[in-house]
Amino acid sequence: MSFPAAAPPTRLLMGPGPSQIHSQVLAALAAPTVGHLDPVFLRIMDEVQAMLRQVFQTENAMTMAVSGTGSAGMETCVVNLVEPGDRVLCCVNGVFGGRMAEVAERVGAEVTRIERPFGEVFSADEIQEAVQRVRPKVTGIVHAETSTGAWQPLEEIAGVVHDAGSLLLVDCVTSLAGVPVEVDRLGIDAAYSGTQKCLSCPPGLAPVTFGPRALEAMDRRTAKVASWYLDIGLLRNYWGSNRAYHHTAPINMNYALHEALRLVLQEGLDARFARHMLHHRALKAGLAAMGIQYSGSPDHCLPMLNSVLIPEGADDAAVRGQLLNQFGIEIGGGLGPMKGKVWRIGLMGETAQSSNVLLFLAALQQCLASQGVALPMDSPTAAASAVYLES
C-alpha cells in the first residue's frame, strides 16, 4: 500500500501554540544533520545555552534545552527537585498549574494545592500564608497560564517563598520572549519553557534553567531521580564541559532553536516585549468594537495569549471551524471549566504582526455576522488601526 506525501496546508497560527515560524528557522531545520558529538554541533549547543541565558535574563550555568516539549521541561524540573515524601505547594489557577501538581504527585510528593478561579491570579499574601503553613521544599507557580491568559505577578513572591525556606519553580512556557522573564532579578530557582510559543520555533525542545539553590537541593538528594532521561545529574555532563554521551539530541531542532534565539536577540528583548504589547492593544480595541470582552482580570491579561468571552449567540465550534476552513486561521477553544465559554487568541512571536491582527478581526466579524450574531456598528479593523496610528 502506498501513501501520499504529507502536504500540510498553510495556516495562520493564532491559537495557544504553536505560533508562526520565521522562514529562517524553517530553513535551519533543513540544514545538514551532523552527529550529536560533532564539534560543530557542540559549538551550537554552547551558543544555544549562551542565548538562552540572555532570554531568561540569568547567569545560571545550568541553562539548556531539554529534548522534549514544554511538558518535558516541567517534568525535568519537578523530578530533579522533588523526592518521595517532599512537601510541594502548587498554585493552581488553570490547567497547567494543575498539571504541575499532578506531576509532583506522581513523583511521590506530598502536594498541597492552593487555588484561584480560572483567569485570576494569586496575591503574595495568599502565597505567604500557604508557604508558612505548609513549609514546602518547592513552591510551583505558572507565570503565564496558557489555559486562561492570566499573567501572574512575581515581584514579591520569590522573597515570600525563600523566607519560608522553599524553592521557587516557575512555568514560563508561554511567557519566555513575550514578556520579561527575569530569573536572576526575581530570584527564581528553576524555570522551564517551550520552543513553540513566543520563541516561534517548532515544538520539540524545552528550555530550562536552574539556579544555585536548585542545584544544591539536587546535590543533597538521597534518592535517584525518577527519570533517567530527564536526570539533570546526567544531562549536565552532556551539556557541560565533559560532553559525556547521554542521548542522541534532536540535532536539527537545536539548529532551529539556535536560529530562533538569534532572531529574538537581534530584535532585542525590550523591542520584542513592546511589539507583543502593541498588537495586544490593537487586538483588544478591535474586539471591543465587536462587543467582545476578555475573560480574566483586566489588570492581569497576557499580551500574547488573549482569552475572550464567546459572544452570546455564537457557536464556538462553528466559528473556529469557519475561521480555519474559510480563512486558514487557527484559534483555540477553552480548556477545563472554560470549554465552550472562551476563545484563546495567540499573538506569539512571529504571529504578533499588524497584518495578522487586522485579517483576524475582519474574518471574525464576517464569521459572527454569518451566524446572525448581533454586532455593534463599529468597525473592528478601524479600532485596531487607530491603536497602530497612535503608536
Listing DSSP states for 278-307 in one string gives: HHHHHHHHHHHHTT--BSS-GGGB-SSEEE
| 374 C-beta neighbours (distance < 10 Å), count | 10
Residue ranges making up the domain that contains 369: 269-390
Reduced to 3 states (helix: H, G, I; strand: E, B; else coil), residue 212 is helix
Q: What is the CATH number of the domain that holds 321?
A: 3.90.1150.10
Q: Which pLDDT score is estimated for 305?
A: 98
**Do both 239 and 346 map to the same domain?**
no
Do 202 and 288 lie in one domain? The reply is no
Say whether both 102 and 176 belong to one domain: yes
| Total of domains in the chain | 2
106 is a domain residue:
yes
What does the DSSP 8-state code read for residue 179? B
Please report the pLDDT score of residue 347 as a whole number.
98
* H/E element, 65: strand 62-67
CATH code: domain of residue 222? 3.40.640.10
| Domain contains 222 | yes
Q: Are residues 250 and 162 in the same domain?
A: yes
Tell me how far the alpha carbon of residue 280 is from its chain's centroid: 16
d(CA 106, CA 87): 13
Task: Report how far residue 244's alpha carbon sits from residue 216's, in angstroms, rounded to the nearest whole number.
Answer: 22
Domain boundary among 210, 236, 266: 266
Helix (H) or strand (E) holding 219: helix 212-219
Q: What whole-number distance in Å separates Cα of residue 197 and Cα of residue 332? A: 13
Is residue 154 in a domain?
yes
pLDDT value, residue 326: 97
Domain shared by 160 and 274, yes or no? no
- The reply to whether 6 falls in a domain is no
Alpha-carbon span 68 to 194, nearest angstrom: 9
In DSSP terms, 171 is beta-bridged to 142, 192
Q: Do 93 and 167 belong together in one domain? A: yes
Alpha-carbon distance of 144 to 94, in angstroms, equals 10
- Cα–Cα distance, 378 to 106 (Å, whole number): 51
What amino acid occupies position 342? V
Could you give the CA distance from residue 196 to residue 204 in angstroms, rounded to a whole number?
Answer: 8
> Of 243, 266, 289, which one is at a domain's C-terminal end?
266
Q: What is the DSSP string of 225-245?
A: -S-STT-HHHHHHHHSTT---
- Residue 278 and residue 234 in one domain: no
Position 13 in a domain? no
What gap in Å lies between CA 118 and CA 365, rounded to an integer?
A: 27
Q: Are residues 131 and 276 in the same domain?
A: no
| Euclidean distance between CA atoms 326 and 9, whole angstroms | 12
Q: What is the pLDDT of residue 243?
A: 82
Residues 100 and 249 in one domain: yes
Residue 18, preceding peptide bond in cis (omega within 30° of 0)? yes
State the pLDDT at residue 240: 81
Q: What is the dihedral of CA 308, 311, 312, 314, to 10 degrees?
A: -110
Q: How many angstroms separate the Cα of 292 from the Cα of each of 68, 119, 375, 376, 380?
A: 36, 16, 9, 10, 10
Residue 61 lies in a domain: yes
Same domain (yes/no): 355, 262: no
Do 108 and 250 reside in the same domain of the chain? yes
**CA 52 – CA 257 distance, rounded (Å):** 10
The closest alpha carbon to 217, from 190, 197, 198, belongs to 190
According to the model, what pLDDT value does residue 33 have?
98
Determine contact, residues 51/258, Cβ cutoff 8 Å.
Answer: yes
10 occurs within a structural domain = no
Q: For residue 332, give every residue at least 6 positions away whose Cβ sits within 8 Å of its Cβ, in sequence order, or none.
A: 15, 16, 343, 344, 345, 346
Q: Are residues 251 and 292 in the same domain?
A: no
DSSP state for residue 336 in the 8-state scheme:
G
Sheet holding 305-309, edge to edge: 305-309, 342-346, 332-333
Q: Which amino acid is at 229?
A: Y
Q: Point out the domain boundary residue: 266, 282, 306.
A: 266
Please tell me the predicted confidence (pLDDT) of residue 238. 86
Tens-binned pLDDT, residue by residue, of the chain (391 aa): 899 999 999 999 999 999 999 999 999 999 999 999 999 999 999 999 999 999 999 999 999 999 999 999 999 999 999 999 999 999 999 999 999 999 999 999 999 999 999 999 999 999 999 999 999 999 999 999 999 999 999 999 999 999 999 999 999 999 999 999 999 999 999 999 999 999 999 999 999 999 999 999 999 999 999 999 999 999 988 888 788 888 999 999 999 999 999 999 999 999 999 999 999 999 999 999 999 999 988 899 999 999 999 999 999 999 999 999 999 999 999 999 999 999 999 999 999 999 999 999 999 999 999 999 988 988 999 999 999 999 8
